[in-house]
Structure 1
């Protein structure tokens, strides 16, 4: 009888250990997913105060930095927001997409157009069109605006499901300082990897030319990075913000006070 009881206790102990292992594995997977979205793919939502957050701006070996009007100031996103001019919107009736140059130029002169550069940077398991080293045929990624896993497949009826969004919309930029930029500077703004991310097509259409006061990503976990990236772009190209826009940005950054600006770095 004593042997049977001992065996029972050992079996129960092993069962508890197995459940603990399963629980720990589940937590690790959840933590890994959170890291990928918050720290792996798009940089830390709250970076240490010692430096700017990492972000997928440049990819080492094949992407080159685009020259902005000035370098992105490193430091607190909220602090840099306070340095941006606050003004009303300029008239929009003179806006024309062509003022920012031909769409998807090869501004960094790496031999590939900007759209394919961003797809290659943001997607995982990238496949290329046969015979091309630039044209992305497919891949998958954790889409930032919705937080869903998505697949991209090149095709007349499928390509639009994944679009390349200007984080600071060109229409918004036009009304907030871009009219004063040179034609070359506007081309750079439209093709700067800092201002571009691959996103869900319908979400991008919903955003349109909105600023942070009128549209934010449905995925709340991405909002701190999104706002910090807008601030970084506006600082780099000397664009201004409206009163309502600044208030919306400050409200978002209030939930992540250590959020840093997004500074392009070699190899990132």
Structure 2
């Protein structure tokens, strides 16, 4: 085959492709076909193998490889940039997921603190309280009048409809039977002055067997500082439960208005509490004690140093 024939064949081997003269110069030599042709490449109408040695295919193949290399390099650069970008700081999720939640160690066990111990009320013994009282001589009894100075007997100061006497009977008697909400019909008194048991039954011939004693007698109070109290304070003093005890009527008459220097309960087991109550009453109302009274009280309380003063 002549060179023109070969050239012509190479210019028209595929439909739809541009003339080779439009793409390649006719006078540009081509490398030997054995350099590029492949045994399994398709043949043209002249039996020529269409391998990668074809002149039109070589530039396309080179371009394709170049583009692939460029894409690979670009992808590697992007991947490296992305890796550096997210390496620091770490990716922060906008919402928690099960995998993203960082497990937290359980809180350390703490020993529960012990509740504070309840504060004990201030304790003061009757013996200590005695030393806070003034010691003076007795004032004159001049002008003393029980009703005028201390009010009518057994008033209802708290306004509950019950007199002070009835309230003390309800407090100090046991097995109490009430006539109504205020009147004590009967009951049993364990007399603190004598230690004896007295059955109380209300009636004109029996009620007097149980009387209400002023532990600090009203006359004694008048002579040891009550003259300085107001009329309202003196009425309060005469009806103050701290200064009242239900006792054997006969023994109460024997006591009269005596102080601790001249009279003490026959039941020796009750003397500490009795004197402690007297000291507490006098301290509450700012009354004083006479020297003999102080001596007698101190002697009793020295035998029971743990006897507490009574609260208001």
Unaligned runs of 5+ residues in structure 1 are 1-49, 53-73
What residue number does 2:186 align with? 138
Structure 2 SS opposite 1:139 = strand
TM-score (norm 1): 0.70
Q: Does 1:104 align with 2:154?
A: yes
1:255: Cα distance to partner?
Answer: 1.0
Larger RCO (CA under 8 A, 6+ residues apart): 1
Cα displacement (A) at 1:51: 5.6
* TM-score of the pair, normalised by structure 2: 0.60
Q: In the alignment, is the contact (CA less than 8 A) between 1:86 and 1:240 conserved in 2?
A: yes
Partner of 2:286: 238
Cα gap change, 1:84/1:123 in structure 2, threshold over 3 Å: closer, same or farther? same
Task: Specify which of 105, 114, 131 is matched with residue 82 of structure 1.
Answer: 131
Q: Partners in 1 of 2:246 and 2:220 — Cα distance?
A: 19
Within 2, Cα distance between the matches of 1:109 and 1:239? 27
Residue number in structure 2 paired with 1:125: 175
RMSD across aligned positions (CA): 1.2
Q: In the TM superposition, what is the alpha-carbon distance from 1:108 to its structure 2 partner?
A: 2.0
Segments of 4+ in structure 1 off by > 4 A?
none
Aligned to 2:275: 227
1:194 alignment partner in structure 2: 242
Query: 2:273, 2:202 → 1: CA distance?
Result: 28
The aligned counterpart of 1:156 is 204
Structure 1 CA distance for aligned equivalents of residues 183 and 269 of structure 2: 31
- For 2:220, what is the secondary structure of its paired residue? helix
Gaps of 5+ in 2: 1-119
Q: Is the 8 A contact 1:51 1:75 kept in 2?
A: no
Q: Please give the secondary structure, in 2, of the residue aligned with 1:152.
A: strand
Structure showing greater radius of gyration is 2
Determine the C-alpha separation between the residues in 1 that align with 2:200 and 2:309.
Answer: 29
- CA deviations on 1:100-153 (whole Å, 9 max, x unpaired) are 011101112222110000000000111112xx2101111002100000011111
**Is the partner of 1:75 in helix, strand or coil?**
coil
| Offset from partner CA, 1:221-248 (integer Å, 9 cap, x none) | 0000000000000001111000000000
